[in-house]
Chain A
Amino acid sequence: MNPPRAAWLFLMPALLVLGLFFVLPVLAALLLSFTDYDLYALADPRNLRFVALDNYWGLLQRPLFWSALGHTCYFVAVGVPLSMAASLGTALLLNSPLARGQAFFRTALFAPVVTTVVAVALIWRYLFNTKYGLVNEALAGFGIHPVDWLGDPHWAMPTIILFAVWKNFGYNMIILLAGLQAIPPELYEAARIDGASALRQFRHITLPMLRPTLLMVSILSVSGYFQLFAEPYVMTEGGPLQSTESVLYLMYDEGFKWWNLGSASAVAFLLFVVMFAVTALMLRLGRRGDAAEVQP
């Protein structure tokens, strides 16, 4: 057996699975989004009609789509920076030569990442309960009145953001920690000899050296945070007053509650377009920043 034929045999199972269960459905989703596939078409495909861009126009005129997109963007715009700050902060602490018991702390800080979203979202639902929750109880110690965390439309999304930060920061923490450890110690030594303060060392050595890693993890986080679904599904069911309904929540309801699969596919593609645009923009801005740094 010659290598090229062997190669295709080794590739075959994976390519078949990805082709049949991913590539084909994605292409089908694009076609589906140009049709009025609904409960009637599900019963009898002859009811299917081609509607061109009607699903997209319809969505762009629906306030519900815009509010779902708004909530999702809010979640991304606040959640990702907070999450990155927590990851970077804990990575810096773990990397400090003064820190003790790093292995233990690293494991403890990482633990939330491996847990099941549904299970830990339930914990948060109880901890943030208005009447019996430990969070309000602790705040009462500081004289703060009980907050209706998940029942007040203004507080529900911030509470979900806090939850997401708690659940996810450990992942980027590990990657950033590896990035920090890869910075040559000579750089810091030279800076110390020149009398640079810790803050200046951070700004002029740590941040520039960590830049590529920071850019990569923030792009990955942004695309992850755009896929908000399980958190509101468990913690608020999209409420109160639909204040935590995300784009994927809308897609799920549209597709699997109302069986408007055509329109739901259009929702999925619009989300894809938004995610693609935002991550491409970040990549471009990040690269331009690199180029600017090289110039004197």
Chain B
Amino acid sequence: MNRTARPWLAKAIINGLLLGSAALAVLPLLWMLSASLMAPGEASSLPPRLLPAHASLDNYRALFGQAGMGRYLLNSLLVAGAITLLSLACNVAAGYAFAKLRFGGRERLFRGLLGALLIPAQVAMLPLFLLLKYLGLVNSYAGVIAPGMATVFGIFLVRQYARSVPDELLEAARIDGAGELRIFMQIVLPLLRPIVATLAIFSFLTAWNDFMWPLIVLTGQEHYTLPIALASLSREHWQDTELMMAGSVVTVLPVLLLFLAMQRYYLAGLMLGSVKG
């Protein structure tokens, strides 16, 4: 039997499978949104409901009014924003140096950094906690931010991209007497703009979604980021399905929207990061 005799069948199967898998990927998120708009108890009625009888924002009001969600949202924005800005500064400068500036031991140092990627971050967490305790930074924003201020992955990503900056351009500027800092700020940075955008969204999403380290270093509620607050709320309000789903929406929606808006940069970075250097 010749396959090509039935192109419509192959087309229907492929698109049907795509539709089915996309539905599986997205439906849990849609259910979260729907349940967050239901009245208390509605999501756990029998038979289960898919859509709210009367959609209302009461759960969100309760979250921001009584559960202090506004505070956690601001904490998350502050922590993820600070990590993004600081790590961009460190990673872009270092990535550029590894790609374009000559110095003794460059390759060895870079390979050493890549080797460090093999060590899971959790190995460092116990002494890091002690270090921050002696520095008085446990249960502070700085304690969450500090270890995220530079990443090997970010340096690697910038280096990969910065290698395409033409050396002639830098040499010409040096001959004209421009200092290294000026060359970096005025010539290199504008050329690196796409990778800076990519790295910014990567860093923000990673910092926003991070769980284990904030859970360890934040010992008091007042500094909780959204994931930590949500995990703690869920142990207290387990029965309140609708309230918890509203909390999940508040946590997930900002990053989902950011991803939708900056998708192009995010996916480009994902491919660049996966290329063996």
Measured CB to CB, the residues of A under 8 A from B are 1, 3-4, 6-11, 13-15, 17-18, 20-26, 28-29, 32, 86, 89-90, 93-94, 96, 98-101, 104-105, 107-112, 114-120, 122-127, 129, 131-134, 137, 166, 170-171, 174-175, 178, 197-198, 213, 216-217, 223, 226-227, 229-230, 233-234, 248, 251-252, 255-256, 261, 264-265, 268-269, 271-272, 275-276, 279
Contacts and interface: CB of A to CB of B under 8 A. Distances in A.
Interface string B126-151: 11111100000000000000110110
Majority SS at the chain B contact face: helix
B110 to A, nearest CB: 10
Contacts of B128: 21, 25
B44 interface: yes
Given A8-B103, A22-B124, A170-B25, 16 more contacts: A7-B103, A10-B97, A13-B90, A14-B93, A17-B149, A99-B18, A116-B248, A119-B249, A122-B244, A134-B31, A137-B48, A226-B120, A233-B215, A268-B126, A271-B120, A276-B118
Interface string B1-16: 0010001001100110
A117 B123 contact: no
A87 to B, nearest CB: 11
A112 to B, nearest CB: 6
B98, B179, B180, most chain A CB atoms within 10 A? B180
Given A115-B255, A122-B244, A265-B126, A3 B103 contact: yes
B155 A29 contact: no
A108 B26 contact: yes
Interface of A is mostly: helix
The number of chain B residues touching the other chain, given as a range, is: 35 or more
Interface in B141-191: 146-147, 149-150, 152, 155, 179-181, 184
Given A24-B131, A114-B205, A251-B122, A10 B101 contact: yes
Give the 7 A-B residue pairs with the shortest CB-CB distance, closest first: A6-B180, A28-B127, A14-B94, A7-B101, A25-B124, A119-B248, A10-B97
5 contacts: A99-B18, A115-B29, A126-B43, A265-B126, A271-B123
A117 B104 CA distance: 42
B212 A107 contact: no
B21 A132 contact: no
Most buried by B among A89, A118, A120, A227: A118
B79 interface: no
Given A117-B211, A174-B271, A272-B123, A7 B102 contact: yes
Contact of A94 (B18, B131, B234): B18
Nearest to A86: B21
B14 A99 contact: yes
A21 B128 CA distance: 7
Nearest to A18: B150
B211 to A, nearest CB: 4
A132 B44 contact: yes
B120 A227 contact: yes
B271 A111 contact: no
B251 interface: yes
B25 A123 contact: no
B252 interface: yes
Given A13-B93, A99-B14, A132-B46, A123 B255 contact: no
A22 B245 CA distance: 36
B267 interface: yes
A31 to B, nearest CB: 8
Nearest to A6: B180
Contacts of B21: 86, 89-90, 93, 109
Contacts of A264: 126
Nearest to B272: A178
Contacts of A217: 274
